Structure 1
Amino acid sequence: MVLKADDKKNNNNRPKPSRQADHPQSAPGTSPFAEKPGLDVRLAAAKILAAVVDKRTPLDGMLDAGHGNPAYKVLSDADRALTRAILNATLRHMPRIEAAIASLLDTPLPAGARALQHVLLIGAAQILYLDIPAHAAVDLAVEQANRDPRNRRFAKLVNAILRRLERERDVILEQSSKISPVPDWYRKRLDKAYGTEDAFKIAEAQLTPAPIDLTVKADREVWAERLKAKILPTGSLRLAAFDGKIPSLDGFDEGAWWVQDAAAAIPAQLFGDIAGKRIADLCAAPGGKTAQLAAMGAKVVAIEQSANRTVRLRENLARLDLDVEILETDLFDYRPEELLDGVLLDAPCSSTGTTRRHPDVLWTKGISDIEKLAGLQARMLRHAVTLVKPGGLIVFSNCSLDPLEGEELVARLVAEDPSVERVAIPPADWPGLEQAINAAGEFRTTPAMLPPGGGYAGGMDGFFACVLRRR
């Protein structure tokens, strides 16, 4: 494993990387690198990255302040924020970073050198995609390599690769922009479902972090003015750039609104006028869609299986001062005394439509997960049909971009179950989102929809939603 020739010529002029032996002996249980500012952040980032890509561990759990990764929990708030930024940049751009590193090597890294790969990925992400001084990123990556006995012999290589990335950053970024920023398995799924051109736009869109969208209980125009927000075609309010804490915003304490992506605000609205009607939300937590249904005047039953999520659901609805019946139970065990007017099933899915805020999804999920989840969704949907009276509506939705969890699943149900018919959504009812309604009359949003403008970010989550009627 060697660098390509043009880098070897300059390698002799670089300072020699530090070695563990150069550091004084430390007391047992302490690190000789602890005095190096920023090193703990990079060590935590590399450990967490390894858990995501090698063990398919979801990122959110590891970044939980109370129960997350130990290396993350001991960091200060500022260092936690930096760790999250490094991880998000690495996961969003990983195929491009890997290609950039590979382009500088005559031979690939050893197959078993995963720890070395993580150090390089973390360092390269800082140099290529974050506003972090390159010398700090290089120096700390070399320290990481020296700290790990598996990587110590590669410390000079780490130094050389990252310094080369720094020098040739603009050229490398231009070259890598032609590479899809998503893993191969997912790129192939997107190509098949949306065509190569639209698939690339969707993949590019996930590189931009999601803006903050709000759903208001009432007085949309008033709150748009008070919050200096843009009203979207979904009726959501989109905030301009905001880096503070959500509870500090005007209207939070009085329960005037809740955070909900624009696409997630669509399914509840597909029922139309539901004032006074009995509607069940079968997968209710954290409660955004439940709150919409209640604010629209429905008599809502919220079903949630998880005890922890039920606590969060109750807290959210209490802040919003909305009256909802909450049942902590498995939806398959739920049987209302009277058949309902409607059911909302926002089913658990692969979440591939939410990668703007959850970039780890593409590295912790695969096609086998999609197939398994699609099977669960089909069972849930068939059960949901049995809960509504003849003429009642079932709105089915999820935040997956894969047709296996959306269009194909619904087409199979309608073909096999004569008691169910699809109700087409009229594009004219959704000005500004007409292109999001497919030929069958179903909603299919992608992160590439809703262009930016006027100082507001574009995009929305990838969502599938459709309306079914029980005959």
Structure 2
Amino acid sequence: MPQRRFPHRPQFDPVGTAPRRAALRVLDAVLRRGQALEPALARAGEGLSPADRGLAHAIAAEALRRLPDLDALIDGATRQRLPDDAKARFVLRIALIQALRLGTPHHAAIATVLPLIDGGPRKLVHGVFGALMRSDATLPELPALPGSVAGRWAAAHGDAMVEAAQAAMAAPPPIDLTLADAAATDSWAERLGGTNLAPGHVRLPAGADIAALPGFAEGAWWVQDLAASLPARLLGRGTGDALDLCAAPGGKTMQLAAAGWRTTALDIAENRLARLRDNLARTGLDAMIVAADALKWAPPAPVDALLIDAPCSATGIFRRHPDVLYRAHPGLIAETAALQAALLARAAEWVKPGGRLVYAVCSLEPGEGEAQLATFLAGRGDYAIDPVRPDELPAGIAPREDGTVRTLPTMLAEAGRLDGFFIARLRRTR
């Protein structure tokens, strides 16, 4: 879809159209240009009120969750298939997701999107939307995944995992908190009205106002998916030197600092490190922060523990960020896998003999997890898997036979499920 169709000129829209226009620009940025949803919203939502910005986010995110199903409805109601990049298709997606999922009255859903399109396509959009509403069109209970993603995940993890991924997409995920003091788990779970699935963890229902919760201002906890907390948990408590690579926004850095490690946090993105600094200030935890490229930087001395939460396709966080389903194509996965290999090769030299290295990716792609580890170990006789024990993991999560950990949306289904991660703990043997 040509950029000229989304001109950045002053708009004089009817009431309610501005957030729909922002949602249109976000969907265009994600689907046509491969951008992430959050940065795209930051640009598209400039000048919007917080409420309108939130609505734009809700429309775009929910449309991405249901995109194959929305397109199936549109294709079933048009004589000639609309091109994937047709503006009429984008506008229909926005109107339909409001009417079918967000509870917007039908007249408001269509009236607020018609100003986004001109001429004949406006009549087409109005006609298709009206026909679908008159036929009582619905979306399936479980959203369909993009065909390429479903095929890839079925081959890697089985059909049951694909079905679990669909179920995970159907409802907003819960909110997980990591506590600075694991000894206070029971008291914080009671105070916050949540449940705990592991020491130092509290799970809350989706939709909680984070900043208004008890303990936020004083830094008693931070938001972090339970699966994302496992890599640092597997390093345990320590008094030595720990290095957290690709550290921002800092959840794992804070875990290491709270566990007693003398922690250095490194990240290439200075703007993301600002958030880490804010989090450390709020929690009162201490870590040295370094803004540098890990492929060019090196620590002054080897460390006892090293954690690499490596840049990846991020397909494991699809239920929170559905845009990854459309951005994480095979080319991107291959590109991030090459970066992971380079980071592993370089960082492996920074661990003391006898020290441990935890490699993790929030990815459901074996090329970024299992295959990456196999390639690394084949070339490094001085590293071996340090098997994770069952008692080191929350109930419902088990290490695999080789001692690594793979979390999947099939796990903890009754408790709200998990993000997808691959985690391997290694020890340097000499």
The Cα shift of 1:181 comes to: 2.2
Q: CA deviation at 1:211?
A: 2.0
2:70–2:139 CA contact under 8 A, matched in 1: no
Match of 1:419 in 2: 382
> Aligned partners of 1:206, 1:434: CA distance in 2, in Å?
20
Q: TM-score, normalised by structure 2?
A: 0.92
CA contact (8 A) 2:185 2:199 kept: no
Residue 74 of structure 1: aligned partner: 47
Question: Match for residue 232 of structure 1?
Answer: 197
| Cα shift readout 1:124-160 (whole Å, capped 9, x = no counterpart) | 1112221111121123333433xx3xxx213332122
Identity of aligned residues (%): 39
Query: For the Cα contact (< 8 Å) 1:290–1:302, is it kept in 2?
Result: yes
Within a 5 Å distance, the mapping from 1:153-172 to structure 2 comes to: 153-169=120-136, 172=138
* CA offset digits 1:220-260 (Å, max 9, x no partner): 1111111111102474211134442x222211121111111
AA at the equivalent of 2:135: E
SS state of the match for residue 332, structure 1? coil
Task: Work out whether 1:248 is the aligned partner of 2:221.
Answer: no
Alignment match, 1:212: 175
Pick which of 96-105 and 437-446 moved more: 437-446
Query: SS state of the match for residue 350, structure 1?
Result: coil
Q: CA deviation at 1:310?
A: 2.2
RMSD, aligned α-carbons: 2.0
Secondary structure class of the residue paired with 2:385: strand
Tell me what 1:402 maps to. 365
Partner of 1:442: 404
Question: Partner letter of residue 267 of structure 1?
Answer: P
Q: CA deviation at 1:39?
A: 1.6
Structure 2 distance, partners of 1:232, 1:43, is: 41
Give the conservation status (yes or no) of the 8 Å contact 2:22–2:41: no
Work out the CA distance in 1 between the residues paired with 2:260 and 2:105. Answer: 54
**2:166 aligned with 1:188:** no
Structure 1 residue 183: Cα displacement: 1.9
**Do the aligned residues in 2 keep the contact of 1:214 with 1:238 (CA within 8 Å)?**
yes
Specify every segment of 5 or more residues in structure 1 that has no aligned partner in the other structure, as ranges: 1-28
- Report the TM-score when normalising by structure 1: 0.84
The 5-angstrom pairing of residues 315-394 of structure 1 reads 315-394=278-357
Match in the other structure for 1:173: 139
Aligned to 2:32: 54
Q: Judge conservation of contact 2:30–2:37 (CA < 8 Å) in 1.
A: yes
Deviations 1:59-118 (A, max 9, x none): 111222xxx22xx21222211111111111101100111011111223212x37611111
Structure 1 residues 321 and 217, CA gap change in structure 2 (3 angstroms): same
Distance 1:333 1:75 in 2: 40
Contact kept? 1:283, 1:303, Cα under 8 Å: yes
The structure 2 residue matched to 1:107, chosen from 70, 73, 80, is 80
Q: How does 1:194-205 map to 2 (within 5 A)?
A: 194-205=157-168
Q: For the residues of structure 1 that align with 2:224 and 2:84, how far apart are their CA atoms?
A: 42
The structure with more radius of gyration: 1
- TM-fit CA distance, 1:163: 2.0
**Alpha-carbon displacement from aligned partner over 1:171-229 (angstroms, at most 9, x marks no partner):** x424xx57x62222222211111112322221331332232211111111111111111
Q: Which runs of 5 or more residues in structure 2 are unaligned?
A: 1-8
Q: Secondary structure at the match of 2:66?
A: helix
| Paired residue type of 2:220 | A
Maintained 8 Å contact 1:234/1:263: no
Summarize deviations over 1:357-392 as a string: whole Å, max 9, x none: 211112223110001101110111122211111111
Moved over 4 A (4+): none
